[in-house]
Structure 1
Amino acid sequence: MIDIFGNALVDYLAGEYTEDIATYSSLDEEDTIPLPYLFRTFKDMPSLEKTALKLAKGKVLDIGCGAGNHALYLQQKGMDVTGIDTSKGAVKVCQQRGLNAVIHSDILNHSKTKYDTILLLMNGIGLAGTMQKLDGFLSHLKSLLNPNGQILLDSSDIIYMFDQDEDGGYWIPDNGSYYGEVVFTMEYKNQRSEPFPWLYLDYGTLQNAAWAHNFECELVGKGNHYDYLAKLLLH
C-alpha cells in the first residue's frame, strides 16, 4: 500500500517540499493538506489542540501521531509520551525529529501497555472509520487505559456541509448510513491512495457511544467551525 502521508512528511523534512497532499471525499469535496501545517509548533496550533495538550497527564499515547508535533511538545515538557502511527514514513520522521518512543502499528494491534492519557487529535476519532466499528474502537481504547485514565479527542459535526431548508432542517441523503461517515482518497506526486473511511462525530453521538462504555463524557471546548474537544474519563 502506498504511504502517501508518510512520503509527503519524509519529503518535507528532507527539504524537498514541492507540493501539498490533495484530498478527495465522498462528499464531492476537493481539498489540500498543506505540508507545513503538519509540522506546526505549539504556538501555531488551534486552541483546542493547545487545551488538549495542557490537559494531558501521566503516561501518554498519541494515536495517529503524524510528524510528532503533539508528542514532541509533551516530551519537551518532560512527560512520558509514546507516538503510534500506521505510516512508516510518519514513524521515521518522528524518530528523526527526536521522539524517543514511537511505534509503527495499527492501534487495534497495540495492547501491551496501559496509559493515563490517550490523544486522538486532528479528528483522531475518525480512525474508527464507521459507526459500525466505533464500539469496538472505543472498547479497545478503554482496554489501554489505567484506572482514572482519559481520552482527549477532537472532532467536527459536518452537518453544515448539507443543504438547509427554510425551517432550518438539513437535507441529508437517506442511504442508511450516518452522515458523518466519509470516504477519502489522498494524492501526492502523482500517486493516489486506496479509498479509506473516516468518521466525523457530532458531540451527541459521541456522548451516547461513550456512555455505552461507561465513560464520563465532557465537552471541554468548541472551535470556530463546528469542531469540539471532548474528554472521556474512565472510573
Structure 2
Amino acid sequence: MDSDPLGRAILDYERGGLRGDCLYRDGAETWDGHVYENYFRPREEWSDSWKNLLDSLPCPVVDIGCGSGQHAEFLQERGEVVAIDVSPTAVEATRERGVEDARVMDMFELTFPPNRFRSVLLNGTQLGLTGSLAGARQLLSDIARITEEDGVAVVDNYDPTNCGPDDVFGYRPDPRRGIAHRTFHFEYERDGEREVGRSLHFVLFSPDRLRDVTVGTPWRVAEVRPGDGYYKAVLRKDDGKNGRKRDQ
C-alpha cells in the first residue's frame, strides 16, 4: 500500500486513538495534524451555521474527500449519501463509523454517471488541491457533470486577501491578486516508525477569484460565508431557462 499517514492516523483514531504524533511538515517546520479537531470533533461542537448548511444540501449527496466520514454520517441521516476519498484507510474508517456507501475514488477520476447527485460537499479545501485556477475550473466542470440541472455544491478555501504566512501553515505568496499557495506533507510517527506522505500543493484563492474560476462552468457563486481568513461558498447552477439564474 502507498504511504498514507493521514488516512492511517484517522483509522487509528477511529479505532481508539492515535499511536503517535501526526504532523504537517514544511521543510524543518512542523505543525500538529489536528486529527481530532478536523475529523472527529463531535457534532455538538459544530456551529449552527455549519449544521444548517449541511442540512440544506438536497440528497443524494456526494461527499468528496470524506476523511473520517463525519459529515457523510450526518448527511445520511437525511437521505442518500456517497462518501469518497482517495485514501483506502480513510474510507475504511468511514465505513467503520457507519457510513453505508463509502468508496475509494480519486476526485480527479470521478466515475459516476451524469446527473447522479443533487449536491456535492467538497470540504477541507479540497478544491485547492487542483493546484491552479485552471485545474479548479476543470474540477468544477467535472462535478457539474455528475450533478442535476439544479445542483448545488459547497466548497471552501483560505482567502489570501485576509490571511498570510502567520495564519496558514506552509503558506506561499503569489504576485497575482487574491491568489496564494500552500505546500506541506503529512507525517505519522506510529509505533516508533515514521510514515511520510507525498508533498501536497494547494492553490488558495479569494471569493472574487472563485467567481473567476466558475466562468465557463455551469456554476455561479450564490453565497459566501466568510470566516477568519477562510470562507465557505455555496455554488448553484443556472437553471437553463432564458439565460436566467435561480434565485439565491
**TM class, shorter-length:** 0.7 to 0.9
Deviation, 1:228, is 1.4
Which AA in structure 1 matches 2:198?
A: E
Contact 2:224 2:231 in 1 (8 A): yes
Which of 1-10 and 61-70 deviates more?
1-10
Question: Could you say which residue in structure 1 is the equivalent of 2:138?
Answer: 136
- Counterpart-to-counterpart distance in 2, 1:187 and 1:47: 33
* Identical amino acids, percent of aligned pairs: 23
Residue of structure 2 equivalent to 1:228: 231
Partner of residue 155, structure 1:
157
- Secondary structure in 1 aligned to 2:99? coil
1:107 Cα offset (Å) = 1.6
1:203 maps to 2:207? yes
The TM-score with structure 1 as length reference comes to 0.85
Are 1:5 and 2:6 an aligned pair?
yes
Where in structure 2 are there 5+ consecutive unaligned residues?
Answer: 167-171, 239-248
For the aligned residue pairs, the C-alpha RMSD in angstroms reads 2.5
In the alignment, which residue of structure 2 is the partner of 1:109? 109
- C-alpha distance in 1, partners of 2:72/2:157? 19
**2: CA distance, partners of 1:173 / 1:200:** 10
Counterpart amino acid of residue 133 in structure 1: G
Q: Per-residue displacement from partner, 1:189-215 (whole Å, max 9, x unpaired)?
A: 122112121222210010111133132
**Separation in 2, partners of 1:200, 1:2:** 25
Give unpaired runs (5+ residues) of structure 1.
164-170
Q: TM-score, normalised on structure 2?
A: 0.81
Provide the C-alpha distance between the structure 2 equivalents of 1:124 and 1:133, rounded to a whole number of angstroms: 12
Deviations along 1:104-125, whole A, 9 cap, x unmatched?
Answer: 0102222323211100112232
Q: Which amino acid aligns with 1:121?
A: N
| Offset of residue 234 of structure 1 | 1.2
Q: Which moved more, 1:178-187 or 1:113-122?
A: 178-187
Greater CA deviation, 83-92 or 53-62? 53-62
Say which SS state the counterpart of residue 233 (structure 1) adopts.
strand
Number of equivalenced pairs: 224
Corresponding residue of 1:85: 85
Q: Kindly state the Cα deviation for residue 139 of structure 1 after the two structures are TM-superposed.
A: 1.3
1:112-123 aligned at under 5 Å gives the runs: 112-113=112-113, 114-123=116-125
